[in-house]
């Protein structure tokens, strides 16, 4: 049995290396590559991914997994977890024909380039045909995976293993029922927050330098990572010891650039915090996108938008921007960075209305996959829902349907994990607070190490050994996803700011 396990590990390691090499090419494509490289790069990545897929879906791997199913590893051991995860991914991968995998890879890679051009030109029609192909490929993928209740389940399962669309829809219903009237109440008190401080220009180099300082402070290891700029901020891991982040900076968008850095930094802390013993294995990943997002949101919102964080960092920020911040005190700044106001861009929206941006995408994706909505009608459907949920109309497609990279890269069924992340961030943080009630005081002293260690110990080191539900149970004792702590946190924090 030991011998078979070693053979399996060796094979998985080779596949892992191919996959990571393709990801390095993907990172370069988004960060450095000239537009002219698009087609060749798409071919290169498709070749690597096809090879990895072929190596993973051989009968030999299937036989190894079958014989290892008889092995008596302890359920909590790395070995048992590796075999479980390999089995799950093998079963999914075997369902996809190699031609479909290659076609998806090429289309999704080219899609990102075409999307970037269309977005720059604020013209959806340049992206429409590509998106039609992407939706069609996702339908083919979902049909190949198979599903019982609805087509969306098949895709959601890739990002949030075991989660059902109906469960996600219920979380949104719970949030919508309490957040919509709460946002209405806040609207009536809009004068409580003045964010004029952000309607100024902030030097890009100074923003960059400040973001680097904060990333270091929260524990991001620059010996095992780096920050670059890209059109859409992202985190990517080639190894536990090489986890990179990107941010988007322009003069007139402070503080979104900083919050992007902290957000991606949270994702990166998770990846850098995985136990070294899992390096190079299938387990060296966050366990689901929802859990991953819980960490970016925890660092971005619960820490990075807290009063205590700015008690410590505001005087430092004033040194970076003495002119812009001369006549603004820390409390005004804290309120400004927490202003609740419906906005056109998801990544620049506040903690509360963010969930409505996700609701809109979740509904549109379901409609596209169920063929209730044509891609050609998508910009109009987007505008209608923006009006319905946020009371805003995008003046162009770059500020509307073209704003996110996700669909262009082939990801459908991904968006709801953002809101699951919001909900989970507070579930986990509430437990951290029960264990260490003085955490906010530590933040006020610029100390984030205790929270970082706790998260590493409780969550990060496990990689994907445990499912989201298993982690929730281990860490918090809750039986599953629970929106209550999130709603209580939101109402307490913003109730205090807005007096509602
Ligand atoms: Zn994120």
- 443 occurs within a structural domain: yes
pLDDT number for residue 176: 87
- Domain limit, last residue, from 73, 97, 123: 123
Q: Are residues 274 and 362 in the same domain?
A: yes
Query: Which pair of tokens denotes residue 392?
Result: 């805003």
pLDDT number for residue 181: 86
Instruction: Kindly give the distance from the C-alpha atom of residue 172 to the centroid of ligand 1, in angstroms, as a whole number.
Output: 18
Which residue bears the tokens 């075999």? 83
Residues 6+ apart with CB under 8 A from 194: 332, 335, 336
Q: Are residues 100 and 172 in the same domain?
A: no
Instruction: Kindly give the distance from the C-alpha atom of residue 415 to the centroid of ligand 1, in angstroms, as a whole number.
Output: 10
- 83 occurs within a structural domain: yes
pLDDT number for residue 133: 98
Q: Are residues 52 and 184 in the same domain?
A: no
Q: Are residues 114 and 177 in the same domain?
A: no
Collect residues with CB below 5 Å from ion ligand 1. 293, 296
Q: Are residues 174 and 80 in the same domain?
A: no
pLDDT number for residue 141: 97
Instruction: Kindly give the distance from the C-alpha atom of residue 68 to the centroid of ligand 1, in angstroms, as a whole number.
Output: 35
Following CA atoms 157, 163, 166, 170 in sequence, which dihedral angle do they give, to the nearest 10 degrees? -130
Burial 5-19 (b: 16+ CB within 10 A, else e): beebbebbeebbebb
- Tell me the C-alpha distance between 468 and 395, whole Å: 39
Within 10 angstroms of residue 377's Cβ, the number of other Cβ atoms is 12
Model pTM score = 0.90
- 153 occurs within a structural domain: no
Instruction: Kindly tell me the burial class for residue 166, based on how many C-beta atoms sit within 10 Å of its own C-beta (0-12, 13-18, 19 or more).
Output: exposed
Instruction: Kindly give the distance from the C-alpha atom of residue 347 to the centroid of ligand 1, in angstroms, as a whole number.
Output: 10
Q: Are residues 185 and 39 in the same domain?
A: no
269: nearest Cα among 323, 215, 312: 215
For 352, how many CA atoms within 13 A lie in the half-sphere containing its CB?
29
Is-contact 346 422, C-beta < 8 A? no
Q: Are residues 71 and 180 in the same domain?
A: no
Q: Are residues 111 and 196 in the same domain?
A: no
Residue 28 sits at the vertex; the CA angle it makes with 25 and 30, to the nearest 5 degrees, is: 115
Residue 452 sits at the vertex; the CA angle it makes with 449 and 453, to the nearest 5 degrees, is: 85
Phi-psi region of 234 (alpha: psi -120 to 50; beta: other; left: phi over 0): beta
Instruction: Kindly give the distance from the C-alpha atom of residue 263 to the centroid of ligand 1, in angstroms, as a whole number.
Output: 6
- Tell me the C-alpha distance between 250 and 237, whole Å: 25
Instruction: Kindly give the distance from the C-alpha atom of residue 10 to the centroid of ligand 1, in angstroms, as a whole number.
Output: 31
Instruction: Kindly give the distance from the C-alpha atom of residue 264 to the centroid of ligand 1, in angstroms, as a whole number.
Output: 6
Distances (CA, A) of 180 to 102, 172, 497: 43, 11, 17
Instruction: Kindly give the distance from the C-alpha atom of residue 455 to the centroid of ligand 1, in angstroms, as a whole number.
Output: 17
- Tell me the C-alpha distance between 165 and 167, whole Å: 5
Q: Are residues 68 and 183 in the same domain?
A: no
- 145 occurs within a structural domain: no
- Tell me the C-alpha distance between 286 and 293, whole Å: 10
What range defines the domain where residue 452 resides?
165-201+268-303+327-498
Number of domains in the chain: 2
Instruction: Kindly give the distance from the C-alpha atom of residue 152 to the centroid of ligand 1, in angstroms, as a whole number.
Output: 21
130: nearest Cα among 107, 152, 150: 107
Active site amino acids? 264
- 317 occurs within a structural domain: no
Packing angle of the helix pair 449-458, 256-272 (nearest 10 deg): 50
80: nearest Cα among 281, 274, 291, 286: 281
Instruction: Kindly give the distance from the C-alpha atom of residue 72 to the centroid of ligand 1, in angstroms, as a whole number.
Output: 37
- 158 occurs within a structural domain: no
Is-contact 355 175, C-beta < 8 A? yes
- Tell me the C-alpha distance between 122 and 217, whole Å: 38
Instruction: Kindly give the distance from the C-alpha atom of residue 292 to the centroid of ligand 1, in angstroms, as a whole number.
Output: 7
SS3 content of the chain, % helix, strand, coil (to 5): 70, 5, 30
pLDDT number for residue 302: 98
- Domain limit, last residue, from 73, 99, 123: 123
- E strands along 375-484, which residues? none
- 39 occurs within a structural domain: yes
Instruction: Kindly give the distance from the C-alpha atom of residue 262 to the centroid of ligand 1, in angstroms, as a whole number.
Output: 10
Distances (CA, A) of 239 to 16, 277, 282, 285, 365: 10, 12, 11, 9, 32
Going 128 to 133 to 138 to 140, the CA torsion angle's sign is: positive
3-state SS, residue 261: helix
- Tell me the C-alpha distance between 404 and 118, whole Å: 12
Any idea what the CATH number is for the domain that residue 176 is in?
Answer: 1.10.1370.30
3-state SS, residue 409: coil
- 489 occurs within a structural domain: yes
The segments of the chain whose pLDDT lies below 50 read: none
Q: Are residues 112 and 173 in the same domain?
A: no
Q: Are residues 77 and 180 in the same domain?
A: no
Instruction: Kindly give the distance from the C-alpha atom of residue 148 to the centroid of ligand 1, in angstroms, as a whole number.
Output: 29
pLDDT number for residue 347: 83
Q: Are residues 74 and 177 in the same domain?
A: no
H or E segment to which residue 228 belongs = strand 227-229
- Domain limit, last residue, from 57, 90, 123: 123
């Amino acid at each position: 049995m030991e011998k078979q396990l070693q053979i399996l590990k060796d094979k998985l390691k080779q596949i892992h290396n191919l996959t990571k090499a393709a990801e390095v090419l993907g990172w370069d494509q988004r960060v450095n590559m000239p537009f002219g490289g698009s087609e060749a790069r798409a071919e290169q990545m498709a070749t690597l991914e096809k090879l990895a897929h072929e190596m993973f879906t051989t009968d030999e791997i299937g036989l190894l997994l079958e014989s290892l199913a008889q092995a008596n590893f302890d359920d909590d051991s790395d070995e048992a977890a590796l075999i479980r995860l390999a089995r799950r991914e093998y079963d999914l991968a075997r369902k996809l024909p190699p031609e479909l995998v290659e076609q998806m890879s090429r289309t999704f890679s080219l899609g990102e380039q075409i999307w970037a051009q269309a977005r720059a030109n604020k013209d959806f029609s340049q992206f429409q045909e590509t998106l039609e192909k992407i939706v069609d490929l996702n339908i083919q993928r979902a049909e190949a995976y198979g599903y019982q209740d609805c087509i969306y389940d098949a895709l959601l399962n890739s990002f949030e293993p075991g989660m059902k669309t109906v469960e996600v829809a219920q979380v949104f219903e719970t949030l919508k029922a309490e957040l919509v009237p709460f946002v209405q109440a806040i609207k009536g008190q809009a004068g409580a927050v003045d964010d004029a401080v952000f309607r100024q220009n902030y030097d890009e180099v100074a923003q960059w330098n400040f973001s680097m300082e904060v990333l270091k402070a929260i524990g991001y290891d620059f010996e095992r990572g780096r920050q670059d700029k890209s059109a859409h901020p992202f985190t990517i891991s080639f190894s536990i010891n090489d986890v990179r982040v990107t941010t988007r900076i322009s003069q007139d968008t402070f503080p979104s650039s900083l919050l992007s850095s902290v957000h991606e930094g949270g994702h990166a802390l998770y990846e850098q915090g995985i136990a070294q013993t899992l390096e190079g294995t299938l387990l060296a990943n966050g366990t689901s996108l929802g859990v991953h997002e819980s960490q970016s949101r925890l660092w971005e919102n619960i820490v990075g938008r807290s009063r205590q964080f700015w008690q410590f960092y505001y005087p430092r920020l004033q040194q970076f921007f003495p002119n812009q911040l001369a006549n603004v005190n820390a409390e005004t700044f804290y309120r400004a960075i927490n202003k609740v106001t419906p906005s056109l861009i998801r990544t620049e929206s506040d903690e509360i209305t963010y969930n409505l941006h996700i609701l809109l995408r979740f509904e549109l994706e379901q409609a596209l996959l169920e063929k209730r909505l044509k891609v050609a009608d998508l910009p109009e459907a987007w505008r209608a829902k923006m009006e319905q949920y946020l009371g805003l109309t995008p003046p162009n497609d770059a500020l509307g349907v073209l704003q996110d990279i996700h669909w262009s890269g082939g990801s459908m069924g991904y968006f709801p994990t953002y809101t699951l992340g919001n909900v989970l961030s507070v579930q986990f943080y509430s437990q951290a607070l029960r264990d260490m009630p003085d955490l906010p005081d530590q933040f006020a002293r610029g100390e984030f190490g205790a929270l970082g260690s706790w998260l590493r110990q409780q969550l990060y080191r496990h990689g994907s050994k445990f499912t989201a539900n298993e982690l929730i149970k281990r860490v918090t004792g809750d039986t599953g996803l629970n929106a209550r702590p999130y709603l209580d946190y939101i109402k307490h924090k913003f109730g205090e700011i807005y007096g509602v």
